Amino acid sequence: MCKDIVDELRTYFNNSLPGIEAQKKMAPEHRNIVFNNNDDNPAKEAAVAIIFYPKNNKLCTVFIKRPEYDGPHSAQISFPGGKYEEYDYDLIQTAIRETKEEIGICADDLIIISTLSNLYIPVSNIKVLPVLCFLPYTPVFNIDKSEVEHIIEVDINKIFSVNSRKNKTITINNKAINAPYYDLYNNHVWGATAMILSELTEVLNGFDFNRVLPDFCNAQNDQ
C-alpha cells in the first residue's frame, strides 16, 4: 500500500511544475518574486522537507515554529530544513539531514516523492528547494529546542481546503501590506512557506487523500 500511495503521488509530478505562477498566488503584495541573479552576492542554497505521514487515519504533515532570535525568520512557521552544507551531496540530502537534526525523524525511512520549484527569499538571500517525502508510519518527534520552539501537525485536507486561505494586513517597515496566509488551526502560515504550499496544492489538485489512506492505515494496523 505504501508503494501505491508513493507511485500515485509521483504521477502528479510528471508534467512541468507551475512554479512562480502558483507561488505568487500566496505572495504578500510587496513581494518581488525573482530568482537571484546577482553574481556579486549569489544566493545561498537551502532545502526544506514536506513530509506526508499517516496519523489517526488521516494523512498529515508537520511544520515547525522557529524560536525568537535576532534574524529575519524569527518565530516564523516553516517546514523543517536549512542551508546546504559542503558535505551534502545534493539539496535533497540537505532537506533530509536538517529534518533529522531539527525534529528527529529517521532519515533512512523517508521516501522521496519529488521536488517543487525553487523559491528565492530576498530578505535572507536564500534559494530554497522544497522536497516532498512520504513517511510510512506516524513519527515520534525529538525536537532540537535550539532550532525549534514547537511543532504543528496538520491534516493535509486542511491545507487543501479553500477555507484555509485568508488575508490579513501586516506592517512592514511602517507600511501596511496585504498578506495572504493559510489559517491552520489558528496558526498563520504566510510568506515563503505559504508560497510553497500554493504550488504544492496546485500540483496535487485532484489527489484523493481520503480514498488512498484508509486502506494503508488498516494494513499498517494489521502488522
Instruction: Give this prediction's pTM.
Output: 0.91
- Judged against a pLDDT cut of 90, whether residue 85 lies above it is answered with yes
For position 220, what pLDDT does the model report?
Answer: 56
Which pLDDT score is estimated for 174? 75
- Assess whether pLDDT exceeds 80 at residue 221: no
**How many residues are present in the chain?**
223
CA distance 143 to 160: 27
Domain positions in the chain: 2-156+192-206
When comparing pLDDT for 80 and 35, which is higher? Answer: 80
In this prediction, residue 65 has a pLDDT band, given cuts at 50, 70 and 90, of: very high
The mean pLDDT value of the chain amounts to 88
CA-to-CA distance for 41 and 78, rounded, in angstroms? Answer: 25
**Could you give the 3-state DSSP secondary structure of residue 151?**
strand
Looking at the chain, the whole-number percentage of residues with pLDDT higher than 70 is 85
Mean pLDDT for the stretch of residues 177-194: 93
Give residue 93's pLDDT band: very low, low, confident or very high (50, 70, 90): very high
Give residue 216's pLDDT band: very low, low, confident or very high (50, 70, 90).
low
How do 44-55 and 126-134 pair as beta strands? Answer: parallel
State which amino acid sits at residue 81: G
Q: Enumerate the β-bridge partners of residue 48.
A: 81, 130
* Candidate CATH numbers 3.90.79.10, 3.40.5.50, 1.10.3720.10, 1.10.10.10; the one for domain 2-156+192-206: 3.90.79.10
pLDDT for the residue numbered 124: 84
165-170, Cβ contacts within 8 angstroms, sequence gap of 24 or more: 165/26, 170/28
Give the contacts of 67 (CB within 8 A, at least 6 positions apart): 74, 75, 145, 146, 147, 148, 149
